Amino acid sequence: MARAPHAGLAEGGGLTDQARAVIIGGGYIGMEIAEALRARGLDVTLVHRYRLPMAGLEQETREQILDELVSHDIRFVSNASVESSASDIAEMASEM
């Protein structure tokens, strides 16, 4: 079944008036989404349950990835657990 597009998506799949995004999870998908949204000019915050992103890789590699996130102005919130609704998270992002 086809679903209606998210209110923030334009007809061609582009973002319209969104200024901020909060990504939950610092794995492969979270990293890809964070990078893509930042490239489109959004203010991106990535929330992850561990101190470093990309669990499963060597620590040195994970530290380098974190440095890259920071150098691209992506906020990284470590050692976090998400216990709120999407609207609560959106409100938190607007206060940053």
- Report pTM: 0.71
Handedness of CA 49, 78, 41, 92 (dihedral sign): positive
Which H or E element spans position 23? strand 20-24
Q: How far apart are CA 23 and CA 47, in angstroms?
A: 6
Tell me: the pLDDT tens digits for 66-85?
999 999 999 999 999 888 66
Tell me which CATH code domain 20-94 carries.
3.50.50.60
DSSP secondary structure, 22-86, as one string: EEE--SHHHHHHHHHHHHTT-EEEEE-SSSSSSBTB-HHHHHHHHHHHHHTT-EEE-S----S-H
Tell me: the pLDDT tens digits for 10-58?
444 556 677 999 999 999 999 999 999 999 999 999 999 999 999 999 9
